[in-house]
Amino acid sequence: MEIIKCENLQKIYQDNGVPVHALKGINLTINKGEFTVIAGPSGSGKTTLLNLLGALDKPTEGTVYFNGEVLYKKKRRELSRLRLENFGFVFQAYNLIPVLTALENIEFSMMLLGIPEKERREKAITLMEELGIAELANKRPNEMSGGQQQRVAVVRAIVNDPDVVFADEPTANLDSKTGDNLLNLMQEMNEKKQITFIFSSHDKQVMERAKRLLILKDGLLEKDN
Amino acid sequence: MLLRLAWRNIWRNKRRSLIVIGSVIVGVIATILMDALQNGMIHQMLFNQINLNVSNVQVHKKGFKDKKDINNFISKPAKVETIIKNQPHVKFYSKRVITFGLLSSTDNSSGVYIYGINPSQEKSVSIISKSIVKGKYLDASDGREIVLSKALAKKLNVTIGDKVVGMANTPSGSIGSDVFRVVGIFKTASSEFDKTTVFIPIVSAQQMLNIPGKIHEFAIITDKYENADIVSKALQKKLGKKYEALSYNEILPLLVLQMDLYKQLLIIVNLIIALALIFGIINAMLMAVYERIREIGVLMAVGMKNSKIFSMILIEALIIGVLGTIFGIIFGYGINALLLSGGIDLRWFAESLSSFGVGAIIYPKISLENFIQIITIIPLVSVVGAMYPALKAIRLEPVSAIRYV
Ligand SMILES: Nc1ncnc2c1ncn2[C@@H]1O[C@H](COP(=O)(O)OP(=O)(O)O)[C@@H](O)[C@H]1O
Ligand SMILES: [Mg+2]
């Protein structure tokens, strides 16, 4: 079942007046439950594509559909809601709100949904225990290692039971063992909860895990398998 | 949680937040002290006038306030006195004969208001008896004695024991005159009052002016000065159209006007202080927003609505404003309390102050208006100042915010 689709997706940035053609026309369909990696060299447009699919940015040309609806016809407020309820994000770094503890960071998304304090606390603690990071609960981001921060970020991304999690080079700042653990975690979420994962990475370790691997080069899809 | 987030955000950059809070505190202290001084001075002017001769309520024959004519006397003082005596809130009263006349010594002469008074009554209504610097106050309702000010004594070149001649018109148009011995010399905070006012026993005044048993004024002190208007209105009603019962507000319209003007000035001063603070707050909040652009992007990415992000930034500024206001008020009142205990000694300016009827020592007095203005304007200004930075924050597209490193 198709969940995200894009047609002729193009993005042109203006870099001090110089146009940069970051995406040159991407056609892509992602089905529910996929574990997809978008790979490609640095500068090939991975982040740009992920941001467009995740409604964080607007395309210059082309359309993105989520569950059959056109994303960029929606108002800012509706997009906020969509990100809150249907999407989860894990960025390369600096994912967490520095003044909140790990537990509070995870609770934060649930708070935005209006879930009562007691309920969201219980859910956050349960998830942290399941994923073996319960001991981080009261630590602030600057008291955690990069790997620990990324794990908390993953939990935050999935806590509202989203349909899709976008992860932009989530392992780029991690050593391979930590990266492996993080990938295990996401794979588990994918299998258990049927959450669709879309990664970007130029990391072998990540590509090996992919159920579907897309190669992006110079703003165009080169390979899909 | 929004509140917790805002609170913690404030303390991320302790130094910057403390500087802003500090500037709010300084602003609040400045307005409190300025107000206390100014308001204290005006109140002192008012109370000085009240204590010198204005009292809280005056009763005259109709028209006396505007035309202090010898003929404008109260012909049946006993009847009026009974009404005043029975009026609630009246604490003290004093009967006065008042006329304008000429006071002469062998060396000089001066136009003065001659007050004929009953010393035992007058002591409760006016501070002159406590302002004697040489000699004594009057002690009987008759006798040819006079009390005048140090300034006037100097002008007439007289001292205790010397004789002066008082002269004034009588109702028939002839001149009444008498010789008085100087028994006391006073000095008040008002140089104007001092130059123009002398006191003699009431019976002697009635004799000199040929108005036996008549008086011009009842000067009344009420239990609380705020009750002056109630008492004057009640008395006016009971006394009828032939009399005028006036509260100090009506007798000192210029001072009352000055108080009103001051209240408006206070608003302007507070707005100026607020304007100064608003730039500090805009600046600090802009820096706070720019520092956190990436984080704001993350907040947007996880689905925080713009309106929430906006309020988060406003709440941060509000907390800063409220903290500054609270501590500013605590310090401001504290400093004020220290000053209040002794008053502010402005003896160096005593000369010029006394021409305004203010003593050399000012007792600061914080006005309620200022307190209300502080606790509304400052927090409001903080929020208003944060609006522009908050708008900047939510105008960002989430992705450009995240990219911003
Ligand atoms: N905001 C931007 N302004 C200008 N150029 C940009 C911007 N974002 C990305 N680019 C350019 O677009 C191209 C694709 O970037 P990106 O999507 O970040 O690639 P990747 O994530 O694969 O490294 C690069 O050439 C990059 O320099
Ligand atoms: Mg990238």
In angstroms, what is the span from residue A45 Cα to ligand 1's centroid?
A: 6
Q: Whose CA is nearest to atom 7 of ligand 1?
A: A13
Which of A127-136, A153-162, A212-221, B18-27 bottoms out in mean pLDDT, i.e. has the lowest?
A127-136
Can you tell me the distance from the alpha carbon of A179 to that of B331, in angstroms, rounded to the nearest whole number?
A: 55
- The tens-digit pLDDT sequence of chain B (405 residues) is 788 899 999 998 899 999 999 999 999 999 998 888 888 888 888 888 898 999 999 999 999 999 988 999 998 999 999 999 999 999 999 999 999 999 999 999 999 999 999 999 999 999 999 999 999 999 998 899 999 999 999 999 999 999 999 999 999 999 999 999 999 999 998 888 999 999 999 999 999 999 999 999 999 999 988 899 999 999 999 999 999 999 998 998 888 888 888 888 888 999 999 999 999 999 999 999 988 888 898 999 999 999 999 999 999 999 999 999 999 999 999 988 887 767 776 666 656 666 565 666 777 888 888 999 999 999 999 999 999 999 999 988 777 666 644
In angstroms, what is the span from residue A168 Cα to ligand 2's centroid?
A: 7
β-partners of residue A63 are: A7
* A13 Cβ closer than 6 Å to some ligand 1 atom: yes
Residue A192: Cβ-neighbour burial (10 angstroms; 0-12, 13-18, 19+): exposed
Chain B residues with CB under 8 Å of A104 CB are 1, 4
Ligand 1 atom nearest A40 alpha carbon: 22
Contact indicator for A39, A213 with CB cutoff of 8 Å: yes
Pick B9's closest partner by Cβ from A83, A89, A99: A99
Cβ neighbours of residue A114 closer than 8 Å, sequence gap 6 or more: none
Instruction: Determine how β-strand B163-169 pairs with β-strand B145-149.
Output: unpaired
- The pLDDT assigned to B189 comes to 85
Query: Which 3 state secondary structure label does DSSP give A27?
Result: strand
Query: What residues pack around ion ligand 2 (CB closer than 5 A)?
Result: A 47
* A42 Cβ closer than 6 Å to some ligand 1 atom: yes
Cβ neighbours of residue B325 closer than 8 Å, sequence gap 6 or more: B24, B28, B374, B375, B378, B379
| Segment holding B222, helix H or strand E | strand B217-222
Pick A111's closest partner by Cβ from B1, B295, B301: B1
| Segment holding B207, helix H or strand E | helix B202-209
B270, two tokens: 């507070």
Instruction: Determine how β-strand A220-224 pairs with β-strand A212-217.
Output: antiparallel
Q: How do residues A68-127 score in pLDDT, each as one tens digit?
A: 999 988 898 999 999 999 999 998 887 899 999 999 999 999 999 999 999 999 999 998
| Segment holding A50, helix H or strand E | helix A46-53
A22, two tokens: 């970051």
Can you tell me the distance from the alpha carbon of B260 to that of B266, in angstroms, rounded to the nearest whole number?
A: 10
Can you tell me the distance from the alpha carbon of B27 to that of B275, in angstroms, rounded to the nearest whole number?
A: 10
Per-domain residue ranges for chain B? 2-49+255-402, 63-240
Say if A98 is an interface residue toward chain B (CB within 8 Å): yes
User: All domains of chain A, ordered by start, with CATH?
Assistant: 2-224 (3.40.50.300)
Q: Cβ separation of A80 and B300 shorter than 8 Å?
A: yes
CB count within 10 Å of CB B179 equals: 11
Q: Cβ separation of A76 and B306 shorter than 8 Å?
A: yes
B32, two tokens: 């409190």
Tell me the whole-structure pTM to 2 decimals: 0.80
- The pLDDT assigned to B404 comes to 47
Say if A64 is an interface residue toward chain B (CB within 8 Å): no
| Segment holding A7, helix H or strand E | strand A2-15
Q: How do residues A35-54 score in pLDDT, each as one tens digit?
A: 999 999 999 999 999 999 99
* A160 Cβ closer than 6 Å to some ligand 1 atom: no
- The pLDDT assigned to B174 comes to 93
